Amino acid sequence: MKKKLFITRKLPAHIVEPLHSYFDVAEWSEEEAVIPREKLLAAVKDCHALWVTLADQVDAELLAHAPNLQIVSTLSVGFNNIDMEAVRSRGIIATNTPDVLTETTADLVFALLLATARRIPEAERYLREGKWQGWYPLQLVGKDVGGATIGIIGLGRIGQAVARRASGFNMKVLYHNRSRKLVEEQQYGFHYKTLEDLLQESDFVVVMAPFSKETEGLIAERQLALMKKDAVLINAARGGIVDEVALYQALKDGKLWAAGLDVFEQEPIALSHPLLTLPNVVVLPHIGSASLQTRTAMMKLNVAALVAYAKGETVLNRVDS
Ligand code: DGY
């Protein structure tokens, strides 16, 4: 008898097709819709394998509803949606989708940085709303990116790809990371800094660290106060790393020039959120890896992991060990 697999989103049929040879596949069937939590808890009842997205919490509650679960594969490189302790204690395999999204996500980070520095969304709204009455010297002026100093918090794969792009813009690259990256320092001239020094010296601070107990609330009131008044904060990692209340206050009080955010503490962010009232905030709906090629490559990694598990072969991209 085939093992049971549940997929929490409607995915392209050609991606899911190979799984039918190995699993009895059930999937959430509504296009562009998120499975409600109670339906997810009911769906995992008898499944052995689960394919989730970063928006699905695989926590103790879900595991209690899934006594047969043996593997969970997440369509993301970040795996903070999976309670690792709970998964490990049950001996459940957990996999993610690293590497294939690195360059695409770094492209988006840089696009967000440029859009924030040069006020691109605001300028577009200005034109479409009929406010463009003429050309003025200080109309919609932004901040120079070329030659500025960028400070990257978290020099993992995506952080490094952002840093290489920054070098192409002739930026001075500072970084803060759990461990020194001596090879990258030598090869590309990146400079290691303490978090405090990085915040004080950077024109653009880019948060690229993974979300964990250690990074939760890492950028709060005290850290924001260290930044230059005309600096820009970019967060494309996880919302919980930046304290949104403190960020709102800093932006509102003119203690920070602007912010570009692809991630939020609560996703989707409520339209009534104070950050959305500020003109100097550029917001995106968590689209870091959203190119067709990359999302396809990510899904293929999930499929490969699930198939390897079903065949009893070595499962790649495990994050549970
Ligand atoms: C991930 O996959 O974890 C990233 O958030 C992509 O944007």
Mean pLDDT of 193-222: 98
**What's the pLDDT score for residue 29?**
86
Instruction: Decide: 109 in ligand 1 pocket, CB within 6 A.
Output: no
- Do 32 and 43 lie in a common domain? yes
Token pair of 288 as six digits: 């870091």
Instruction: Looking at the structure, tell me whether residues 75 and 141 fall in a common domain.
Output: no
Can you tell me the distance from the alpha carbon of 49 to that of 177, in angstroms, rounded to the nearest whole number? 34
Ligand 1 near 317 CB (within 6 A): no
Q: Are residues 115 and 261 in the same domain?
A: yes
Angstrom distance (rounded) from CA 232 to CA 279: 13
Which structure tokens are listed for 16? 């899911």
User: Sign (positive/negative) of CA torsion 125, 229, 164, 98?
Assistant: negative
Residues 130 and 35 occupy one common structural domain: no
Are the CB atoms for 4 and 24 separated by under 8 Å?
A: yes
Report the predicted TM-score, pTM, of the whole model to 2 decimal places: 0.96
Give the residue, out of 96, 99, 104, 105, with the most ligand 1 atoms within 8 A of its beta carbon, to mutate for a pocket test. 105
Predicted confidence at residue 202, as pLDDT, reads 99
In short, whether 78's Cβ falls inside 6 Å of ligand 1 is yes
235 with 172, same domain: the answer is: yes
- Do 200 and 128 share a structural domain? yes
Range of the domain at 50: 3-100+292-311
Same domain, 240 and 144: yes
In this prediction the ipTM stands at 0.94
Instruction: Tell me the pLDDT tens digit for each residue of 88-141.
Output: 999 999 999 999 999 999 999 999 999 999 999 999 999 999 999 999 999 999
Active site residues: 238, 267, 286
| Residue 131 parent element (H or E) | none
Q: What pLDDT does 33 receive?
A: 81
Pairwise CA distance, residues 136 & 284, whole Å: 29
Closest residue CA from atom 2 of ligand 1: 76
Please check whether residues 32 and 166 belong to one and the same domain: no
Quick check: is 318 in a domain? no
For ligand 1, is residue 105 a contact (CB within 6 Å)?
A: yes
Would residue 319 count as lying in a domain? no
Residues 148, 35: Cα–Cα separation, whole Å: 44
Task: Band the pLDDT of 276: cuts 50, 70, 90.
Answer: very high
Structurally, the chain folds into a number of domains equal to 2
Q: Residue range 143-163: average pLDDT? A: 98
Nearest Cα residue to atom 3 of ligand 1? 78
> How many other CB atoms are found less than 10 A from the CB of residue 183?
9
Same domain, 151 and 247: yes
* Residue 284 · residue 112 · CB < 8 Å: yes
CATH code (residue 136): 3.40.50.720
Residues 112 and 187 in one domain: yes
The answer to whether residue 214 sits within a structural domain is yes
73 lines ligand 1 (CB under 6 A): no
Q: Which residues on adjacent β-strands are paired with residue 258?
A: 232
